[in-house]
Amino acid sequence: MSTKMKVVIPCDEANHVCDKTQYKEATLWEKIKLNIHLIYCRACREYTKNNTKLTKKVKESKVECLDKKCKESMKKDLDKAIIEESN
């Protein structure tokens, strides 16, 4: 078995590392390999660029999520409506 460290990664792995980087889960070594890959892969550069834009827009959004109790109440109401409609 070879003990060489692989620096060149395929596109699917590069995209996965890009996603991990977005959530601050990528290791330094993964980031290095991703940046090397981005030097020669135009498609992955575009994927990374779009991923960065998406992350920025989500962080800037003013979306407010429902709390757990409200979600549960809505689910009960929906289930009740489905049962009533099916009868």
Q: pLDDT means per 10 residues in the chain (87 residues)?
A: 70 95 93 96 96 90 87 94 90
Confidence at residue 5, expressed as pLDDT on a 0 to 100 scale: 64
Confidence at residue 1, expressed as pLDDT on a 0 to 100 scale: 46
Question: Where are the chain's structural domains?
Answer: 11-86
- Give Cα separations from 75 to 28, 47, 87 (angstroms): 43, 36, 19
Confidence at residue 4, expressed as pLDDT on a 0 to 100 scale: 59
